[in-house]
């Protein structure tokens, strides 16, 4: 189902002065966000919405819906940059056949990037001061937080990891990513702006996002699309941060030297290369990974760049890439079967694509990691780990707990 509250869209984008902290400009209802290092896009209100039908063609359906909606729009864009003009924020479920994927075009989008800032408004009343950035009610902390088991208890999840290891060693597959969830109940309703503020400040290297209460700070860029240029940041192989500087350096060195983690990373990079090669006239894949150091964990990371050979939109690239081995496994089909057998839960948007697309087909989409679904005073948090043949269930549980710390930090004032 799709709804255009304003049809045709009447869009106006104008340069504005530096708005400062983007999160502080958001009102307290249904904020949309995509922020890294203080730059990006935030939005509010709703000009159009699409509930994307489940199925193998969902990304094509979403692209066609966007094209039809924006083709009818009357756009006056004084900025003409990626993210100016009408923009849709979106989140897709991990499983193609699961309901819950959506695209939303906010009535107002405020952006800052590369020393420029702009404001996009949709509707005949785009000069209404109520749509402009200004004084907002301050975010309120959620108060005391109580946590409870999600779909599986910790011992049950460790047992699932052990079963996955056995199947890998029996030759059924090379790698599978197993996720788990954690339930949180707050004393007060959870103000998404409070989470966005804490996440963007604590994890500036990550992409802090929010779409319909689905909120997090992902380190993994699935694809950035600007004109014909694309970029992807592949993460696979993880270790927690150390207790001190010496321990931290030792853990990073051990991760870099780990045959298990290096092979896991090779699988993830190979899946991205195979997905992008048919779309690209040029593709640059690093021979060796680098270390990405975040406040809670360290990752093996590879930055892949390329140039598209035709006019593919960012959603076409997302369709080709999802799911990567970094969040599914290798081989993909078998890994998805094992996930359904062992995880015991619906991932919903966890490990699915999340991001934004503009009328040109440009955009940025990440893999929804370090995230949670916020509903009233409740949050469902997610974390996952790549399981290999020599994975230790105890160590994998510790890694998942380290990844949960991102959203726990955001919630706990």
Compare 4 and 339 and report the one with higher pLDDT. 339
The percentage of residues in the chain with a pLDDT greater than 90, rounded to a whole number, is: 91
Residue 270 pLDDT: 93
Residue 2 pLDDT: 60
370: left (phi over 0), alpha (psi -120 to 50) or beta: left
Residue 192 pLDDT: 97
Query: Are the C-beta atoms of 247 and 291 separated by less than 8 Å?
Result: no
**Whether the predicted pLDDT of 261 surpasses 80:** yes
CA atoms within 13 A on the CB side of 327: 28
Residue 413 pLDDT: 75
* Catalytically active residues, by annotation: 175, 220
Residue with tokens 């150091």: 293
**Whether the predicted pLDDT of 295 surpasses 70:** yes
pLDDT bucket at 126, cuts 50 / 70 / 90 = very low
Rounded to 10°, the helix 259-276/314-321 angle is 130
**Whether the predicted pLDDT of 134 surpasses 80:** no
Residue 5 pLDDT: 61
Query: Are the C-beta atoms of 204 and 297 separated by less than 8 Å?
Result: no
Residue 129 pLDDT: 39
Averaged confidence pLDDT in the chain: 94
- Chain segment 209-243, per-residue pLDDT in tens: 999 999 999 999 999 999 999 999 999 999 999 99
pTM of the model as a whole: 0.94
């Amino acid at each position: 189902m799709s709804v255009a509250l304003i049809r045709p869209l009447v869009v106006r984008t104008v340069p504005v002065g530096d708005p400062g902290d983007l999160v502080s400009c958001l009102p307290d209802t249904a904020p949309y966000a995509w922020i890294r290092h203080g730059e990006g896009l935030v939005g509010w209100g709703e000009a159009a919405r699409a509930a994307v039908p489940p199925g193998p063609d969902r990304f094509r359906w979403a692209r066609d819906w966007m094209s039809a909606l924006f083709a009818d729009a009357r756009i006056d864009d004084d900025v003409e940059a990626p993210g100016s003009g009408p923009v849709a924020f979106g989140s897709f479920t991990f499983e193609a056949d699961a309901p819950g994927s959506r695209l939303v075009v906010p009535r107002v989008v405020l952006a800052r990037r590369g020393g420029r800032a702009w404001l996009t408004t949709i509707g005949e009343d785009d000069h209404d001061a109520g749509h402009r950035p200004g004084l907002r009610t301050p975010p309120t902390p959620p108060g005391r937080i109580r946590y409870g088991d999600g779909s599986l208890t910790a011992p049950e999840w460790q047992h699932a990891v052990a079963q996955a290891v056995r199947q890998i060693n029996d030759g059924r597959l090379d790698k599978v990513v197993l996720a788990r969830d954690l339930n949180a109940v707050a004393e007060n309703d959870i103000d998404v702006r409070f989470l966005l503020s804490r996440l963007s400040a604590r994890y500036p290297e990550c992409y802090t996002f929010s779409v319909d209460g689905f909120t997090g700070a992902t380190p993994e860029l699935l694809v950035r699309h600007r004109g014909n240029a694309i970029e992807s940041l592949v993460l696979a192989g993880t270790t927690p941060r150390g207790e001190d500087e010496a321990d931290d350096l030792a853990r990073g060195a051990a991760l870099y030297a780990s045959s298990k983690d290096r092979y896991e990373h090779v699988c993830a990079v190979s899946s991205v290369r195979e997905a992008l090669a048919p779309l690209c006239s040029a593709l640059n894949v690093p021979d060796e990974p680098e270390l990405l150091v975040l406040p809670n964990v360290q990752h093996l990371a590879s930055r892949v760049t390329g140039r598209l050979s035709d006019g593919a939109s960012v959603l076409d690239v997302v369709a080709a890439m999802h799911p990567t081995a970094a969040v599914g496994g290798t081989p993909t089909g078998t890994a998805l079967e094992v996930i359904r057998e062992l995880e015991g839960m619906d991932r919903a948007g966890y490990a699915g694509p999340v991001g934004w697309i503009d009328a040109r087909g440009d955009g940025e989409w990440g893999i929804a990691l370090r995230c949670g679904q916020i509903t009233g005073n409740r949050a469902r948090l997610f974390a996952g780990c790549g399981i290999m043949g020599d994975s230790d269930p105890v160590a994998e549980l510790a890694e998942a707990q380290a990844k949960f710390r991102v959203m726990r930090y955001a919630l706990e004032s």
